[in-house]
A and B are shown apart, each in its own frame.
Chain A
């Protein structure tokens, strides 16, 4: 298996622009997670899906952020409009289940820089 695939690996954009991050989970995994990593706040869970349905989006910072999972093999995280404080590394992870019995597999991340 190729593992969790994220694109792009690096994104540089100007404040006010729309940014779309993409994720392909591991085939057969029912759960998909979006995390954000910054020096100040560490690793934060933004939202997660079960069987393509958003279960908990309480970590999404504000309405500028939205996430979709139109099918079992693809998810997007969109920021519109982007702001400099959104600069971070965004990780997608997937697992067969939720809870401590199931390992989460992380993608390599997308490093976002908003100028």
Chain B
């Protein structure tokens, strides 16, 4: 079945460092891909998404590009802040406009930014 694999954490970086969190997926067809973020004590929030190959999702300085050739959707940010400390989830769903597909989440990567 469809699945998402993301790098295990925790990832610890200093403020202003470059961030990459790797995510690869296994799916039939052309899934939509997402990154969700979970801040301490809160539920998940959608961070960004991409619905077709070569699309780039971006939000709050984070970016991820849908790479079908490598089945990847790595999350990047050029300069992280302490406020970015959270758990990040890569996820996939069915193709755009397919109403019956559930979202499948990865296990999450905890990010800790040191001041």
Contact = CB atoms under 8 A, between A and B. Distances in A.
Interface of A is mostly: loop
Contact of B102 (A56, A101, A105, A106): A56
Contacts of A100: 31-32, 34, 49, 51, 93-98, 101, 103
A42 B105 contact: yes
Interface stretch (B16-24, B40-48, B76-84): B40-48
Q: Interface size for chain B: under 10, 10 to 19, 20 to 34, or 35 or more residues?
A: 20 to 34
Given A42-B105, A42-B106, A43-B105, A99 B44 contact: no
Contact of B103 (A97, A104, A108): A104
A42 B94 CA distance: 20
A51 to B, nearest CB: 13
B106 A106 contact: no
A113 B107 CA distance: 21
B99 A97 contact: yes
Interface string A76-115: 0000000000000001010001111101111111000000
Contact of A101 (B42, B45, B46, B96): B96
A98 B43 contact: no
Interface of B: 31-32, 34, 41-46, 49, 51, 89, 93-103, 105-108
Given A45-B102, A100-B95, A104-B46, 20 more contacts: A42-B107, A43-B107, A91-B43, A93-B43, A98-B99, A98-B100, A98-B102, A99-B93, A99-B97, A99-B98, A99-B99, A100-B32, A100-B34, A100-B98, A101-B96, A104-B44, A106-B42, A106-B44, A106-B45, A108-B42
